[in-house]
């Protein structure tokens, strides 16, 4: 369960035994909430059509188009002679007459010959125009929806920076443009026990050494100093795993190409954080002195040798 509040100061660490006893109840409740949310999300057809893959979207359009013409093709067959110049009891002729009617092609070989057929043509043209307008709007909305191509490093590391233990991870802009007025936000989420022995999912903002970046072009190493004010003070790999902790990072900014705000998010669980490691150096120079970025090592981290 979650109280949805942020604590201003770091509470005392909870005993691992007590946390482990109450976690199954927390997971069961969370699973029920997720299940209810998924059922509700299925009813949001517009959102579903916007976020589904392009291949599935066009497959759905093709299926709807085919089913629409099959239904009207069968309706034209209900009355003999409703379509002039169509072969008697020919579903193929009725189907392709429906295709021509829906697309308002009108080759002239076949045309409605009865009142019943004219009524069907009127209904089909109305529904076809409506469906075409909806499909056009959906395709435009999908193309115009802003998307971020921001890549985060697969792992985060904790090591000393200017003598202070620091949480660090890397982000990169995969497009050849700038993200203007970019800002990074980092949050710690973990389970804690209240004084009453109740498990709460607590949220803590982690102060970033450089939160704003006026022009995010290549890479950005986001850092949080683990000092006396940090909620991570005194934490280690074992304690974060026991508390099912998670570091949630987000970057937002204005895409200069589309003039729209974009967002990107990454989650680091306890197993994704390397304690005592350093991010691999990916900055170099060409013989001409130009800066280069080795993206092949973007996700790499090196373990510090133990003395």
Q: What is the CATH number of the domain that holds 196?
A: 2.60.40.1400
- Strands 277-279 and 246-255 turn out to be unpaired
Distance CA 25, CA 136 (A): 47
86 part of a folded domain = yes
Q: How far is it between the farthest Cα atoms of the chain? A: 94
Query: What value does the mean pLDDT of the chain take?
Result: 83
Domain that holds residue 140: 47-144
Q: 175 and 225, same structural domain?
A: yes
**What does the pLDDT look like over 67-85, one tens digit per residue?**
999 999 999 999 988 998 8
| Domains of the chain: total | 2
Smallest CA-to-CA distance from 279 within 297, 303, 301, 305 is with 301
Q: Provide mean pLDDT across the span 17-33.
A: 47
3-class secondary-structure state, position 254: strand
User: Distances in Å between the alpha carbon of 212 and those of 51, 168, 269?
Assistant: 29, 16, 24
Q: Check whether 24 has a pLDDT greater than 60.
A: no
Q: 195 and 106, same structural domain?
A: no
Pick the last residue of a domain from 92, 127, 144: 144
Pick the last residue of a domain from 90, 117, 144: 144
Q: Provide mean pLDDT across the span 17-37.
A: 48
**What does the pLDDT look like over 226-246, one tens digit per residue?**
999 999 998 999 999 999 999
Q: 241 and 209, same structural domain?
A: yes
pTM (2 d.p.)? 0.63
Q: 206 and 62, same structural domain?
A: no
Range in 27-31, 131-135, 182-186, 216-220 the model is least confident about: 27-31
Distance CA 17, CA 14 (A): 9
Q: 286 and 155, same structural domain?
A: yes
Q: Check whether 195 has a pLDDT greater than 90.
A: no
User: Distances in Å between the alpha carbon of 77 and those of 72, 90, 92, 137?
Assistant: 9, 8, 10, 33
DSSP state of 78: T
């Amino acid at each position: 369960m979650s109280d949805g509040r942020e604590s201003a100061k770091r509470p005392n660490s909870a005993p691992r035994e007590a946390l482990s006893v109450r976690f199954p109840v927390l997971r069961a409740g969370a699973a029920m909430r997720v299940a209810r949310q998924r059922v509700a999300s299925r009813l949001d057809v517009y959102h579903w059509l916007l976020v589904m893959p392009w291949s599935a979207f066009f497959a759905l359009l093709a299926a709807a188009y085919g089913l629409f013409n099959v239904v009207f093709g069968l309706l034209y067959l209900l009355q003999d002679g409703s379509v002039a110049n169509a072969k008697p009891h020919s579903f193929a002729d009725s189907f392709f007459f429906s295709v021509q009617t829906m697309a308002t092609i009108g080759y002239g070989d076949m045309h409605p010959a009865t009142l019943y057929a004219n009524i069907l043509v009127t209904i089909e043209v109305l529904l076809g125009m409506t469906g075409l307008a909806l499909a056009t709007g959906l395709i435009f909305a999908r193309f115009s929806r802003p998307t971020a191509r921001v890549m985060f490093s697969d792992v985060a590391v904790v090591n000393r920076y200017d003598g202070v233990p620091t949480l660090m991870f890397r982000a990169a802009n995969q497009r050849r443009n700038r993200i203007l007025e970019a800002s990074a936000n980092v949050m710690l989420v973990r389970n804690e026990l209240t004084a009453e022995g109740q498990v709460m999912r607590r949220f803590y903002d982690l102060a970033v050494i450089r939160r704003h970046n006026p022009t995010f072009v290549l890479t950005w190493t986001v850092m949080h100093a683990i000092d006396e004010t940090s909620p991570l003070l005194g934490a280690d790999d074992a304690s974060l795993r026991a508390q099912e902790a998670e570091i949630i990072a987000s970057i937002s900014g204005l895409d200069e190409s589309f003039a729209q705000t974009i967002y990107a998010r990454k989650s680091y669980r306890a197993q994704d954080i390397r304690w005592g490691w350093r991010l691999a150096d990916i900055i170099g120079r060409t013989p001409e002195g130009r800066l280069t970025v080795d993206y092949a090592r973007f996700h790499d981290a090196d373990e510090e040798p133990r003395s």
